[in-house]
């Protein structure tokens, strides 16, 4: 611990884990939209269902491809046969929706009653003829975005090891890609070229296959793919892809790189089970992060990156009016979605001081490059290192917020309104998960989000009603 206490290194602490975050089953909300031929079945109780329906707001009304398998008392006391019950529901799903994959999300309840989902899935899969992927995204083990990590780790096992063996299947795959390219025509012209004719292939440098992992909205995935293409790097596939039937090929020795900081299990699975090589890079969040991410990938493939300097500078110039708002401000991240280290690093680069980074779980190996980048950024900007608090205690954090009086608190909705009423400016953290914040192109959106409360409060600052609770009651 003496090492951690050194002033020239980041200081890690760990509190009680009594903090507010979303349940990891929330990942179904964005994953079912990303993987268009999937169906997510959350096997849990009313509590899970209530969370999903309230947290995901209007999304649930658009005939979602997800549902609850709501456990009843008979399921808990094993009066009903799990296999038969799941079969009944999955057949109903097959009949009504006919998905290419059913993803079972295990919950706290299935953990406690030890329902053997991993054991049941292969049997049922064989019986009903639809792949069943099992992910244990429960609140006993994980927080919020880690839910995606458990799903992707399970999907990584399903990726083919090589392009389909038979020529027919190969042609079929080409054709499907061809069809998709046709359908995408006009939407993002550049992306159609990849994998096309010989002339296009030659734009890429010869390097081992690279697969990126992490679920991003399609436009953002395309932007990052093109960013690498500019360096002559070909992205062979994404985990997840838009369809389950198009999961990328993962051969032994393929390179993989994560786009989000919460994907440590997926990374581990890719390395250990699929024998892939992980490129440990900072994450492409913010222009600084994107540049570092591209540079790292280039360096692994022995490529001299071109034009990144100007590219980054152009982006910074174009967002100067927003970045200026953060300059000299103090920021406190309470921690709930694991994006915190990358966001803090970006805020520091904008010229802010970060007082505390709360984070649910800190994988120092998977995030090593990002942590180093944070240290470097703090040094370059001449600001003190933030204190990093793993498994924070929200009560203690609020005491610290009151002492340190930060200019901006990034927090969950449970605390946002009460803090605002006490004159403390807040930004709701969940929005960073759902907004498009990756790559050079989205730097503006990222700053737009982060500075919105500051801009709003600037507009209202002369009204004189920034504290709206009577007594400074103990929290």
Q: Does 415 bind another protein (CB under 8 A)?
A: yes
Measured distance CA(188)–CA(165) in Å, rounded: 30
The only residue of 1, 126, 183, 473 in contact with another protein, by rule CB under 8 A: 473
Q: List residues bridging with 67 in a β-sheet.
A: 41
Residue 318: burial class (beta carbons within 10 Å; 0-12, 13-18, 19+)? middle
433 binds another protein (CB under 8 A): no
Using CB under 8 A, pick the residue from 134, 138, 236, 425 that binds another protein: 138
Minimum distance, C-beta of residue 137 to another protein, in the bound complex (Å): 10
Site size toward another protein (CB under 8 A) is: 66
The widest CA-to-CA distance across the chain, in whole angstroms, is 75
Please state, in angstroms and rounded to a whole number, the distance separating the CA atoms of residues 211 and 88. 37
Quick one: which of 72, 127, 321, 380 contacts another protein (CB under 8 A)? 72
Decide: is 413 part of the binding site for another protein (CB under 8 A): yes
Angle at 216 between CA 30 and CA 392, to 5 degrees: 70
Choice from 22, 213, 293, 440 touching another protein (CB under 8 A) = 22
DSSP states of 429-457: THHHHHS--BTTTTHHHHHHHHHHHHHHH
Q: Of 13, 14, 46, 314, which one interacts with another protein (CB under 8 A)?
A: 46
| Of 17 and 384, CB closest to another protein | 17
How far apart CA 457 and CA 466 sit, in angstroms, is 9
Binding residue for another protein, selected from 11, 33, 49, 445, defined by CB under 8 A = 49
The reply to whether 213 sits near another protein by the rule CB under 8 A is no
Token pair of 151 as six digits: 């799903």
* Stretch near another protein under the rule CB under 8 A, chosen from 82-90, 208-216, 276-284, 320-328: 82-90
Q: Which of 75, 148, 340, 363 binds another protein (CB under 8 A)?
A: 75
Which of 15, 85, 184, 193 lies at the binding interface for another protein (CB under 8 A)?
Answer: 85
Of 88, 275, 368, 456, which one interacts with another protein (CB under 8 A)? Answer: 88
Contacts for 233 with CB less than 8 Å, ≥ 6 apart? 204, 205, 207, 210, 297, 298, 301, 303
Nearer to another protein, 315 or 416 (CB): 416
Q: How many C-beta atoms lie closer than 10 Å to residue 126's C-beta?
A: 9
Distance CA 347, CA 415 (A): 21
**Quick one: 107 or 441, whose CB is closer to another protein?**
107
Torsion of the alpha carbons at 321, 323, 327 and 333, rounded to the nearest 10: 140
Residues 141-170 interacting with another protein (rule: CB under 8 A): 141-144
Complex with another protein: residue 68 or 350, whichever CB lies closer:
68
Return the number of the residue (112 or 205) whose C-beta is nearest another protein. Answer: 112
332: contact with another protein by CB under 8 A: no
Burial of residue 242, with CB atoms counted within 10 A of its CB: 0-12 exposed, 13-18 middle, 19 or more buried: middle
Q: Which is nearer to another protein, 44 or 386 (CB)?
A: 44
Q: How far is the CB of 216 from another protein (least distance, A)?
A: 23
Nearest to another protein of 164, 423 (CB atom): 423
Q: Return phi, psi of residue 69, to 5°.
A: -95, 95
- Pick the binder of another protein from 14, 163, 421, 460 (CB under 8 A): 421
217 CB-contact burial (10 Å; exposed 0-12 / middle 13-18 / buried 19+): middle
**Among candidates 265, 218, 268, 225, which has minimal Cα distance to 240?**
218
**Among 111, 184, 246, 466, which residue sits at the site for another protein (rule: CB under 8 A)?**
111
Q: Tell me the two tokens of residue 212.
A: 């990126």
Please select the residue that binds another protein; options are 275, 328, 395, 460, rule is CB under 8 A.
395
Please identify, among the stretches 70-78, 224-232, 433-441, 457-465, the one whose residues bind another protein according to the rule CB under 8 A: 70-78
| CB nearer another protein, residue 345 or residue 415 | 415
Q: Name the residue nearer to another protein (CB basis): 291 or 422.
A: 422
416 binds another protein (CB under 8 A): yes
Q: Does 124 bind another protein (CB under 8 A)?
A: no
| Dist CA 343 CA 312 (whole Å) | 17
Q: In whole angstroms, how close is the CB of 417 to another protein at the nearest point?
A: 5
Torsion of CA 293, 297, 298, 300, to 10 degrees: 140
Nearer to another protein, 109 or 342 (CB): 109
The 3-class SS string of 1-52 reads CHHHHCCCCCEEEECCCCCCCCCHHHHHHHHHHHCCCEEEEEEECHHHHHHH
Q: Can you give the binding site for another protein, defined by CB under 8 A?
A: 17-24, 43, 45-47, 49-51, 53-55, 57-58, 60-61, 64, 67-73, 75-76, 80, 85-86, 88-89, 92-93, 108-109, 111-113, 138-144, 395, 398, 412-418, 421, 468-469, 473-475
């Amino acid at each position: 611990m003496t090492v951690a206490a050194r002033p020239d290194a980041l200081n890690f602490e760990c509190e009680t884990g009594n903090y507010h975050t979303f349940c990891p089953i929330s990942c179904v909300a964005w994953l079912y939209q990303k993987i268009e031929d999937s169906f997510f079945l959350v096997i849990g109780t009313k509590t899970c269902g209530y969370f999903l329906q309230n947290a995901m707001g209007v999304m649930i009304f658009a005939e979602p491809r997800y549902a609850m398998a709501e456990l009843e008392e008979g399921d808990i006391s094993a009066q009903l046969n799990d296999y038969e019950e799941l079969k009944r529901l999955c057949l109903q799903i097959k009949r009504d929706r006919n998905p290419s994959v059913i993803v079972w999300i295990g919950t706290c309840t299935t953990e406690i009653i030890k329902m053997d989902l991993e054991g049941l899935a292969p049997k049922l899969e064989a019986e009903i003829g639809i792949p069943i992927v099992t992910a244990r995204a429960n609140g006993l083990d994980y927080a919020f975005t880690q839910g995606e990590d458990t799903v992707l780790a399970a999907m990584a096992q399903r990726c083919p090891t090589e392009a389909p063996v038979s020529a027919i299947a190969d042609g079929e795959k080409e054709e499907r890609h061809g069809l998709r390219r046709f359908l995408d025509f006009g939407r993002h012209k550049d992306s159609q070229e990849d994998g096309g004719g010989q002339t296009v292939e030659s734009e890429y440098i010869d390097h081992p296959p690279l697969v990126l992992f992490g679920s991003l909205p399609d436009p953002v995935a395309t932007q990052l793919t093109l960013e690498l293409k500019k360096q002559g790097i070909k992205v062979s596939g994404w985990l997840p892809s838009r369809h389950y039937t198009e999961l990328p090929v993962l051969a032994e020795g393929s390179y993989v790189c994560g786009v989000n900081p919460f994907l440590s299990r997926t990374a581990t699975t890719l390395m250990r089970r699929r024998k892939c090589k992980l490129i440990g890079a900072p994450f492409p969040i913010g222009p600084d992060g994107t540049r570092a991410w591209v540079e790292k990938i280039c360096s692994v493939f022995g490529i001299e990156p071109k034009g990144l300097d100007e590219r980054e500078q152009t982006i910074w110039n174009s967002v100067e009016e927003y970045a200026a708002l953060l300059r000299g401000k103090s920021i406190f991240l309470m921690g709930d979605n694991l994006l915190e280290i990358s966001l803090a690093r970006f805020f520091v680069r904008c010229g802010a001081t970060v007082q505390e980074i709360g984070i649910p779980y800190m994988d120092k190996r998977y995030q090593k490059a990002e942590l180093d980048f944070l240290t470097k950024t703090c040094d370059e900007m001449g600001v003190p290192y933030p204190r990093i608090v793993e498994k924070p205690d929200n009560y203690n954090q609020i005491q610290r917020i009151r002492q340190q009086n930060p200019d901006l608190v990034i927090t969950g909705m449970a605390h946002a309104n009460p803090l605002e009423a006490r004159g403390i400016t807040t930004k709701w953290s969940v929005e960073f998960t759902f907004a498009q914040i990756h790559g050079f192109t989205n730097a503006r959106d990222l700053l737009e989000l982060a500075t919105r409360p500051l801009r709003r409060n600037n507009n209202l600052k002369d009204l004189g009603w920034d504290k709206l609770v009577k007594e400074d009651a103990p929290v």
